[in-house]
Amino acid sequence: FPSHDSSCISKDSLYIGTLAGIRRAPWSKLVNLNDFNEWRWAYESNGRLCNELASFRDTLYFQMDSTAYRYSQGNLSPINTEKRRIARIWTNSQGLHIVYPGKIINIGGTGNQNINLVYSVTQFKNGIYWFGTGIQDGLIKKDPNGEISYLPSGPATNSAFRMTKHGNYLVTTAGGVTATFGNAFNPGGFYIHHQGVWKNNINHPLNTNLYDFTYTAYAKQRDWQIAATHSFGVLIFKNNEVIGRWDETNSPLKKRIDGFIWVSGICEDAKGNIWIVSYGAETPLPCYTTAGTWRTFQIGLSGENELKGLEIDLNGNKWMIRQRGGILVFNEGKNLDATVDDQIGRAHV
């Protein structure tokens, strides 16, 4: 039996839409619908798909070639004059509904309405239409007082790069680096999960012009969540609220020749100091101390400032990945302000 896309019952016949037109068969318990000989052509479309079949007031409605049609007693007439992708044709207690970008046609109900971009649509018993656009997440409620958007409780995108958890908080960044550690220009941002609810990209003046969110950290001593970017700095938030930002205006972080600040690692040590890896910077390991001041360190040799990733072990050693291969290890010693006891080590594979 030929494949079919949709079907409906009108009067005493069952109609199915196919790639070649619309077939019908008697709608009766006495009829074997598996018998091809029971089916007759109601309308032949010359190879054009007929679907979205619906019956209303003994008239058949369907979609063919981006146009909605009315078919009755052998007569075929178009409903929309401009070809538009038909989102859906269906019937319910409030009449027949034909929806396509720009228009909701409602026959036997409250009347027609305007609608913008629409990909899929339904209607609740209260008469309110809900629809999706096909290009944005969530649903839109076509409320009489204005359209209202609803997003699911989940991450804004399916992109994920790093996660940091503390208590009931989970912070995930969308990522933003290429295979060569360049900018991916990912607008996904970051997502915070707390007690079953997701909060995406907290709206705040400090969270402006930031994208390519990468590394995350939890600063236990200050109870901060920190999210670094591959664009223009570091965002700090607490209890789902943005409280600060570090960039070239208030920290040793400096813009590269290309105008970006590449933060390639971040971690808190056992004393509460927050260490940042600034990829390609002249001083690639700035530290925000427990006293609220900044310290910078000269680590590595010339050309060794392309560092990424940061882990701090129980002895306070800072382990970083060298982009050109191997590992760099740094320890500032007992005195954070003195350089005489600084130690640097390298490991090559």
Q: Encode pLDDT of 305-318 as tens digits.
A: 899 999 999 999 99
CA 94 to CA 97: how far, in whole Å? Answer: 9
For the chain, the distance separating the N- and C-terminal CA atoms, rounded to the nearest angstrom, is 64
| Contact of 309 with 321, CB cutoff 8 Å | yes
CA 108 to CA 28: how far, in whole Å? Answer: 28
**Nearest residue to 54 via CA among 101, 100, 20, 22:** 22
3-state secondary structure of 256: coil
pLDDT of residue 205: 95
| Contact of 183 with 172, CB cutoff 8 Å | no
**Nearest residue to 273 via CA among 328, 331, 215, 322:** 331
CA 87 to CA 323: how far, in whole Å? Answer: 50
Query: Which residues in 110-149 are b (16+ Cβ under 10 Å) and which e?
Result: eeeeebeebeebebeeeeebbbbbeeeeebbebeeeeeee
Residue 126, phi-psi category: left (phi > 0), alpha (psi -120 to 50), beta (remainder):
alpha
pLDDT of residue 302: 66
**Positions in the chain whose pLDDT score sits under 70:** 1-5, 300-303, 348-349
Which pTM does this prediction carry? 0.63
**What's the one-letter identity of residue 86?**
I
pLDDT of residue 65: 94
| Contact of 119 with 133, CB cutoff 8 Å | yes
3-state secondary structure of 276: strand
